Amino acid sequence: DTTITEADVLAAQQAWGDALIRISDAHAKGGQDAAKAAAEQALDSAYDYAQGPVLFKPTLTTDPQIFRTDREGALSYFVGGNPDYPQDTGFALKEWTDVEVDNAAVMLNGDLATSLGTVQFTDRDGNVTTVDKSWTFRKDDAGVLRIIQHHSSLQFQG
């Protein structure tokens, strides 16, 4: 069955947050290579890059590399270390200890679902960063929920 439920979306969001913490922990214990391996596993299990472009706009990217529609760009955003993306410092390496998703709404439409809300990231010093986030998920032929669109931005401070 390819129909997505709200429970599927919540589980995927929790898995995404858990993976971010795993990447951060891997970096703290094993350095860049360990973080990269953890990030590759997370990307391959959560995102749909195997099928083509993912509409990914990370939080902390700047022109000319704002959007990360391929796996290489996404990996660089999460762990840095890629000379083709010199501005990336590794969002997943910021010693995150907790990730909390608070959905404003989840829309379900058969094999597609979209969520909109906030995510709070807590680092090891207790500092909290809140971002606005939307995800669109699709169930693949094997019934695995995959991220096909991911937009994240810092909240407006007007």
What confidence score (pLDDT) does residue 140 get? 87
How does the average pLDDT of the chain come out, rounded? 95
First to last CA, the chain: 45
DSSP for 53-102, please give it.
Answer: --EEE-TT--TTS----SHHHHHHHHH---TTSTT---GGGS-EEEEEEE
pLDDT in tens, 69-92: 999 999 999 999 999 999 999 999
Entry pTM: 0.94
pLDDT at 1 over 80: no
- Kindly indicate the confidence band of residue 156, based on its pLDDT and cuts at 50, 70 and 90: confident
For 71-92, b/e burial (b = at least 16 CB within 10 A) is: bebbbbbbbbeeeebeebebbb
Structure tokens at 56: 């990914």
Please give the Cα distance from 108 to 77 (Å, whole number). Answer: 29
Q: Which of 70, 78, 82 is nearest to 35 (CA)?
A: 78
pLDDT, tens only, 51-68: 999 999 999 898 999 999
3-state helix, strand, coil in the chain (%, to 5): 35, 35, 30
In this prediction, residue 2 has a pLDDT band, given cuts at 50, 70 and 90, of confident
Sheet strands side by side (includes 55-57): 55-57, 145-154, 128-139, 112-123, 96-109
Q: Which pLDDT does position 141 carry in this prediction?
A: 83
